[in-house]
Structure formats: C-alpha cells, structure tokens
Amino acid sequence: MPFYGYGMDYGLLLFVLPAFLFALYAQARVRSAAERFSRVMASIGKTGAQVAEELLRAAGIRDVQVSRAQGYLSDHYDPRQRVLRLSPAVHDGYSLTALGVAAHETGHALQHATGYAPLAFRNRLVPVANLGSQAAFPLFIVGLFMGSGTLMNVGLILFLGAVIFTAITLPVEYNASSRALAALEAGGYLRTEGEMRGARAVLDAAALTYVAALAMALAQLLRMLMLARSRED
C-alpha cells in the first residue's frame, strides 16, 4: 500500500505532526519553568556567572572563560574557544533558573575537560549533522520526484547522520544536568530541598526539548522511509 498518494503525505500525519506538537509542548514547558523559577531567588546570593566561575575553579579548570551572550536562553559552552557563554538573565541573575542553567553549561565544560566520550563523539559528528540537516531532505525530494533511488539513498544516509547526532546529544545533555545538580548541592549553592526541586525542574524541562528534537528527527526519518517505499510501490 503506498504511503503517499492522492496528494496525501501519510508520514507527515502519522509521525511528523505528533512529534511537532510534542516539540511545541516541550518548548512551552521549558519557557514556563525558566520564567517561573527566574522569579525565585537562590538564598546563596550569587549570580549565574559567579557560580559558573566557582564551579570551574573547584574542578581545577582555569582555561575556560565565562562571558555574557546575547539573547534569551542562548546559553552554551563553546569547546573550540573554551568559552562558557551565558545569556544576560543567567549571567547576571540570582535566580534558581540562573544557577541551574549556569551549572548545566559548566557541566559541559567539565565533560570536555574530563574527555567525556559521548561529547567527544558528538563534536566529531557536527560536520556530518550540519550537512545532513541542510542537504538531506532536498536531495531526497529531488530523488523522489526524479525517480532516482541513488539520490534518495544519499539523502537518507545523510539524514541518518543527523539523527545519530541528535540521539547522542540526549545522554550528553542529561549527563551535564546530573553534573550540574551534584555540583550545586555539593558546593552548598542550593540550601533547601525547595531550591533543589526548582533547579531540577528547570533542567528537566530543558532536557525535554532534546527528547522532542530526537522525536522530530526520528519522525522525519520514518516519513522519508515511507515516501521511499511508496515510490517503490
């Protein structure tokens, strides 16, 4: 039975649409958690930048700088330049959101410093993932309409690389969050159970967006496979 016919893309309806709705939910949840706990100040009285710098020093990391980035939730660790970039609200904030996000990004710096294998593997896959996300679907669609199985297979292989990258990102992010919560608790930055729950809620919501990203990638891959099968039929 063909999965693409009469103008209907069944793969889009069966897989991509549900995954897209899940991604919207994940984005809404992370924004809600971030905004809610951005109004709850941590009793330690330190900014996200101060906490990140102290956690780096406690781990013996001296060659990573903490700087202010631009944009909302634009926080990230750059392993090539050895810079931990925090958004203004996190860099200068005293909230549970600021501390949680700052510690999470510090977790990536700790992964890099200790040679955490999944992170190293993910970093090596960045060129493949970039190529796959940009070129895979156009090549596949061209192959689909031209009846070229070769182009379709190239598109599928490239996109599979992007899916693998997304799958590896998931444990990397969860590990960074685990390191963050452990470091915050061990360093006395979260002094009450309520503060720990707030920071965990922010990080759990953020991790859900990576689950949604993997769901979207798998949904697109399944859609492409269904389209390829419909062409064969």
pLDDT, tens digit, 9 for 90 and up, residues 174-211 = 999 999 999 999 999 999 999 999 999 999 999 999 99
Give the pLDDT confidence score for residue 5 in this predicted structure: 47
Q: Is the pLDDT of residue 230 over 80?
A: no
Residue from 185, 23, 30, 183 nearest 97 by CA: 30
CA distances from 15 to 21, 154, 159, 160, 222 (A): 10, 22, 16, 16, 7
Of the pLDDT bands very low, low, confident and very high (cuts 50, 70, 90), residue 233 is low
Known catalytic residues are 105
The model's pLDDT over 81-113, given as tens digits with 9 standing for 90+, comes to 999 999 999 999 999 999 999 999 999 999 999
- Among 20-34, 37-51, 141-155, the minimum mean pLDDT is found in 141-155
Of the pLDDT bands very low, low, confident and very high (cuts 50, 70, 90), residue 8 is low
